[in-house]
Amino acid sequence: MTDEILKRLTLINMFFFSNKRVLVFILFVSICIILGACSSSSSDDTDDPVGLLWDYGSGSLGPSNWASLSVDFALCGSGTQQSPIDILDDRIDDAPAWQFNWGASTLKMINDGRNIHVLYNPGSSIVDSGVAFELKSFHIHVSSEHYYQGNPFDGEIHFVHESAAGNFAVVAVWITEGTEHKDLPIILANMPIVDNETFDDPSTFVRARDFLPESGDYFRYDGSLSEPPCTESVTWVVLRQSIELSTNQLQFFENVLGENIRPLQPLNGRVVVQQ
C-alpha cells in the first residue's frame, strides 16, 4: 500500500467518519487496493455507458488521442473553437446580460465512470437574447479546466444547458480551497461512487443556485464541449468569482473521480468578453 493511498484513506476517515456512504467508499477503495484495480478511468475500462471508450489519462484513450477514437470525435482534433481555454484579462469587452431561472430539483445522480452527473429536473433555464437553454445537469472537475491569467483553480463546476434547437450553453463556476460548502453534504452523502451506479430520491432536493458565487460578473466566449464529441458552438459563461469548498470536500471528489481534466485549447483568435 503506497503512502499516497494511505494519505487519501486517512483524509476521508478524518472528515467523513460517521457517514455511511463514505464508509462504503472506504471499503470499495480497500477492496480495489487488494485487487490492484483502483482506477475507474483506466484504458482497459470496458463498462462505458455511452459505448465509446475515452478517458482523461495519458494513454491511448486520453485527450491527445480523442479525435482518433471515433469519427464522431473528429472535432476534438480539428476544431478551432475548443474548450477549455486560459482566460486573459486583456481580451475584454462588454457582454450581453444573462438571465438565470434556476429552481430546485429532486436529487438524481449517475456515475458514468468518468464523472458524477447531477441530473436536473425540467423547468430551470438561462435565457440569452431571448433563447432559453434548459439546465440538464451539472458536474465537477478537480482541478479546474479553465485557467485565469495562466493559473488553474482548485476545481470547476459545469452547469450544462441545452436549447430546444439542440445548442449547448455551459455555466462554469471556479472553486477555491477554503471553507466547507454547507450545501454539498447532501450530494456527497448520496453520491454514486461506483461506475454506472445511480441515485434517485424524489424526496431529496438540490438547488443549483446554491453553488453560484455572490457576484454575477462573468466571462463569455464561444467554445466546445470539453469532452468527446467536443461539439462546437457552445456558449461558455465562466463566472469571475469563485466559490469555496473545504480541503476534504475537494479531496473526496479527487478520490472518487481521479483525473478528469482536458488540457487547455488554443484561442485561435477568439475574443473573451466580460460583464
Cell of residue 85, nine digits: 481555454
Whether 229 contacts 72, CB under 8 Å: yes
Q: Report the distance separating Cα 127 and Cα 147, nearest Å.
A: 25
Name the minimum Å distance from CB 14 to Zn ion. 28
Binding status of residue 220 toward Zn ion by CB under 5 A = no
Residue number with CB closer to Zn ion (158 or 161): 158
Half-sphere exposure of 161 (CA within 13 A, CB side): 26
Residue number with CB closer to Zn ion (15 or 66): 66
Give, for 156, the enclosing helix (H) or strand (E).
Answer: strand 155-163
Residue number with CB closer to Zn ion (26 or 238): 238
Q: Report the distance separating Cα 190 and Cα 39, nearest Å.
A: 21
Quick one: which of 227, 110, 248, 119 has its CA closest to 179?
248
Name the minimum Å distance from CB 26 to Zn ion. 27
Name the minimum Å distance from CB 145 to Zn ion. 6
Residue number with CB closer to Zn ion (115 or 251): 115
Contact set for Zn ion, span 174-203 (CB under 5 A): none
For the CA atoms of the chain, what is the radius of gyration?
Answer: 18
Contact set for Zn ion, span 142-171 (CB under 5 A): 158
Residue number with CB closer to Zn ion (108 or 158): 158
Instruction: Tell me the one-letter amino acid at 100.
Output: F
Cell of residue 97, nine digits: 446580460
Name the minimum Å distance from CB 232 to Zn ion. 15
Residue number with CB closer to Zn ion (204 or 231): 231
Task: Report how far apart, in Å, the C-alpha atoms of 37 and of each of 23, 29, 46, 160, 197 are.
Answer: 19, 9, 13, 31, 18
Count of residues that interact with Zn ion, criterion CB under 5 A: 1
Q: Angle 247-257/20-35 helices, nearest 10 degrees?
A: 40
Residue number with CB closer to Zn ion (92 or 264): 264
With CB atoms as reference, the residue minimizing the distance to Zn ion is 158
Q: Report the distance separating Cα 63 and Cα 72, nearest Å.
A: 14
Name the minimum Å distance from CB 4 to Zn ion. 25
DSSP 8-state symbol, 72: G
Q: Report the distance separating Cα 51 and Cα 185, nearest Å.
A: 31
Name the minimum Å distance from CB 90 to Zn ion. 26
Name the minimum Å distance from CB 141 to Zn ion. 5
Binding site for Zn ion (CB under 5 A): 158
